Structure 1
């Protein structure tokens, strides 16, 4: 009998006794969902051939005196003198690396964007390492006390570098999880409170207004390479926070498109914009990478269209995946080059992984 109880308890912990997730779908009167009629999958608002406001064509990665690197543009730290924008929004932004952020809001809530500590979920992580692929250094990670005080976790899409099941289990089921449509079935089981949201839908956590907004990207979560049965079955989002008259925008993975102008027209000028600047180039398929990832100059153009009061870039760094980039910090070098060449007016504030700024 004792052995039976032990065996039953172990089986319960591993399988069916895990609490089921609580999943709900939030819609608003202005919600938008775009479906590809051919296969019933999601698609971007603005499809077809693109044009870009600015494109760097030569000498795009000159060395910069404020970026100190051990070798080339690898293992770098940005050490430039920066003027902190005096915005008085009440938000504090801490960059954990790649696309992961901890945000403290003006009235005391704490939220996570795309928290990923390690490289990939098992067993893909092991397979990737054994195949000789780039093995990512773990990024910064919130302390246990910080994780206990998280109110909400927001994911932009299901790609491995933005969504990790093991990290969800370490965060726990206390926070509310907010995702694009269709993404909840990728979660582990464990009593997680998950809200799926289409573009232009809105929800609240106390007085924190959370808006799901469009991005220009795609989705897939592949176990076997080059088999994409789940391609675009889940949506991809950006997120816009509003509280006490201040706004913060997290673009998620996205290419440049008219959706940035749409967001500004709907919500007004944005105070803080967290913008991706990496993974935009591949010698095998350069057009596709840029189609779904902003170059540094695309991000600067988008920030101007959003009327951002400050732009904080992400995607580069010592804990980045370096997908489609020349090096860990090549995207930052290109940004530092293009901000002068374009005479960009949006103020930048550049963080190293683990750093924070109160704005």
Structure 2
């Protein structure tokens, strides 16, 4: 495989591809699930598999954020590094997982494919980025990112949904149109123009890159993407996915943004026990709207219960951290403190492996 520098990719785009229409297909499957309203003013909008009020098996009520000796912070639960000794289970999956920060992951598969989940380098697309700075919002510290050689070797990019912290058009242009892009239904029209090869996938559909099988699976979330809130209503016009990689009989699950629901049990029943689980643990707290935040984001204890239902052989948490957005959190690492606390309190038997931004692990 030839390796091209980012500058050459961008120059090629400017000279040839930026005006090229994108290639968009929809992948179908006999048992695919397309959860849309059929009638009324919401007809054609997407909804969750289990849209009603959820029952949460475990909820931390008091003293949920005690300090932990393995989490070293500059101030209370802010700007931290996890320093605990960790023992990996003997999985022999040969997946290598690198956490770039927040929801962004770089995955090397057992047979050498390079995959990205929700790659976001900066905070918001322009002009929202500028408006956010001017209004004094919390500005995200940059996470880890890929070097030019890594960017040139990407085989596929998968997005879970269109929220700004998971999907950034400037980063797509930087990555270029060489990789295969996979999205939930309806999401392709949010891409910049530039000859991008995009497949939209409903829940329980699949596709392949050589011998790597990629499954689109449900998440419990929502979607919208507006320049200014409430100016226009695009709520749930596009769907939202989790993703499951399968190669050499080994599986890796990326949950995407999701709340807790029975869809975790459904995934396990359909695909069996999962080897590596990347599950979010943050953005569940809000003083005025806490029930809604938890409805669409797993608490640490929800994530642990989901991992148990998936029979994960190892769980890697994400969503917290020095490069997180801190939307719906007490602090950058409050969610990790709660996870460490509830892991012990719940006597969880799911092996846990914790990464700092930029770190990688071979499983």
TM-score of the aligned structures, taking structure 1 as reference length: 0.95
Note the C-alpha offset of 1:225: 2.0
Instruction: Give the Cα–Cα distance (whole angstroms) in 2 for the partners of residues 110 and 16 of structure 1.
Output: 23
Note the C-alpha offset of 1:228: 4.7
Which deviations, in whole Å up to 9, do the C-alpha atoms of 1:120-151 show, x marking residues without a partner? 00000010111010000111001110011100
Instruction: Give the Cα–Cα distance (whole angstroms) in 2 for the partners of residues 276 and 226 of structure 1.
Output: 27
- The answer for the alignment partner of 1:103 in structure 2 is 107
- The answer for the alignment partner of 2:133 in structure 1 is 129
Instruction: Give the Cα–Cα distance (whole angstroms) in 1 for the partners of residues 169 and 69 of structure 2.
Output: 39
- The answer for the alignment partner of 1:28 in structure 2 is 29
Instruction: Give the Cα–Cα distance (whole angstroms) in 1 for the partners of residues 202 and 334 of structure 2.
Output: 34
Aligned positions, number: 348
Q: Does the 8 A contact of 2:18 with 2:193 survive in 1? A: no
Q: Does the 8 A contact of 2:203 with 2:217 survive in 1? A: yes
Q: Does the 8 A contact of 1:94 with 1:357 survive in 2? A: yes
Q: Does the 8 A contact of 1:22 with 1:191 survive in 2? A: yes
Instruction: Give the Cα–Cα distance (whole angstroms) in 1 for the partners of residues 17 and 273 of structure 2.
Output: 48
User: Does 1:93 pair with 2:94?
Assistant: no
- The answer for the alignment partner of 2:55 in structure 1 is 51
Instruction: Give the Cα–Cα distance (whole angstroms) in 2 for the partners of residues 16 and 115 of structure 1.
Output: 21
SS in 2 for 1:159: coil
Instruction: Give the Cα–Cα distance (whole angstroms) in 2 for the partners of residues 169 and 203 of structure 1.
Output: 24
- CA pair 309-17 structure 1, distance change in 2 beyond 3 A: closer
- The answer for the alignment partner of 1:3 in structure 2 is none
Instruction: Give the Cα–Cα distance (whole angstroms) in 1 for the partners of residues 250 and 187 of structure 2.
Output: 28
- The answer for the alignment partner of 2:330 in structure 1 is 326
- The answer for the alignment partner of 2:275 in structure 1 is 271
Segments of 5+ residues of structure 1 without an aligned counterpart are 1-11
Which one of 198, 201, 226 corresponds to residue 202 of structure 2?
198
User: Does 1:245 pair with 2:249?
Assistant: yes
Which deviations, in whole Å up to 9, do the C-alpha atoms of 1:246-274 show, x marking residues without a partner? 00000000000000000000000000000
- CA pair 291-15 structure 1, distance change in 2 beyond 3 A: farther
TM-score of the aligned structures, taking structure 2 as reference length: 0.94
User: Does 1:284 pair with 2:278?
Assistant: no
Which deviations, in whole Å up to 9, do the C-alpha atoms of 1:141-169 show, x marking residues without a partner? 01110011100000000000000000000
- The answer for the alignment partner of 1:74 in structure 2 is 78
Segments of 5+ residues of structure 2 without an aligned counterpart are 1-12
Q: Does the 8 A contact of 1:281 with 1:290 survive in 2? A: yes
User: Does 1:234 pair with 2:238?
Assistant: yes
- The answer for the alignment partner of 1:153 in structure 2 is 157
Which deviations, in whole Å up to 9, do the C-alpha atoms of 1:269-322 show, x marking residues without a partner? 000000000000110100000000000000000000000000000000000000
Q: Does the 8 A contact of 2:34 with 2:203 survive in 1? A: yes
- The answer for the alignment partner of 2:343 in structure 1 is 339
SS in 1 for 2:90: coil
Q: Does the 8 A contact of 1:220 with 1:228 survive in 2? A: no
Q: CA RMSD of the aligned region, Å?
A: 1.3
- The answer for the alignment partner of 1:8 in structure 2 is none
